[in-house]
Amino acid sequence: MRILVTGGAGFIGGHLAEAFVGDGHSVTALDNFEPFYDLGIKRHTVEQCRAVADASNGEYELVEGDVRDADLISELVADADIVVHQAAQAGVRTSVDEPRKVTDINLGGTVNVLESAVESEADRVILASSSSVYGKPQSLPYTEDHPTEPVSPYGVTKLAGEHYARVYNELHGLPTVCLRYFTVYGPRMRPNMAISNFVSRCYNGEPPVIYGDGSQTRDFTYVEDIVDANLSLLTSDAVDGDVLNIGSSDNISIRELAETVRNQLAPELDIVYEEAREADAEHTHASVEKARESIDYEPSRSIEAGVGEFIEWYDANREWYEPLVQSS
């Protein structure tokens, strides 16, 4: 199968490209290599994908380019059976500071992908959405029919992208599905995320820093579970035109998360609290019943177990990963 992964050198996109190649597919990874975080992590991801391709029957090609380039997207989508659209300007706080840029990338790029997929009659487009579409909870855990009232421009762009996918499915019969990811973590994760920051600081004798009082809760999802959901959708047509929550169905307070990391790595450290950041959701918690029924999705790890695995990976990869985290 020919698969185009936009954002294919990023954290989630890179894991997807690696898994697809390992399963023997022909993968094109598109990435613009914007230095939102240290590009050494992306380069390491590309090297890993190439190594997996060399050891398998899969094929891997890296294309450096931007989803806002309509001609390039048209060319790449035309050569793909399935498009896995991960490319986006990430970061809730970035979207508050640069809403025009985030809208241009996240919405403009998505429309380019959908338009090209209609023209080339792609078999399916899988779009990465986010728990940020929910905003303020009226009830927890979130089910897919929970009201969507995002509290950041990033969340607004993700929700609008979902609507575009639904409309393209209804108007053009384009098979689409949107996956609402709940805070994803794991090897090669972005260094400015809470888990990687807590681990990095504790390894280096610096106290974990919490923004706010730490009562905020998050449903953290291990990246291998995200990969499993996407792999299922390479063949399943059970949810075309629909959205699915992809989370751990578990959650933890930021304070408890920081304490878990601190107690394992540096129990002598205090935890530092600073002013809360604007546009951050107070709570996230996924109901995954719909994904379980539709694509046999099953979270594989508790948050505590996944964090323990990440710490083991971090320790084994400090030589190349930690300096990037520390410089972020």
Residues designated as active site: 154
Residue 161 corresponds to which tokens in the numbers above?
Answer: 């992208």
Q: What is the CB neighbour count within 10 angstroms for residue 22?
A: 17
The size of the chain, in residues, is 328
CA torsion sign, 262 to 266 to 271 to 275? negative
Burial class (CB in 10 A: 0-12, 13-18, 19+), 30: buried
Query: At a CB cut-off of 8 Å and minimum separation 6, what does 13 contact?
Result: 5, 6, 7, 29, 31, 84, 86, 87
Tokens for 23, please give them. Answer: 């399963």
265: Cα within 13 Å, side-chain hemisphere: 29
| Half-sphere exposure (Cβ direction) of 260: Cα atoms closer than 13 Å | 19
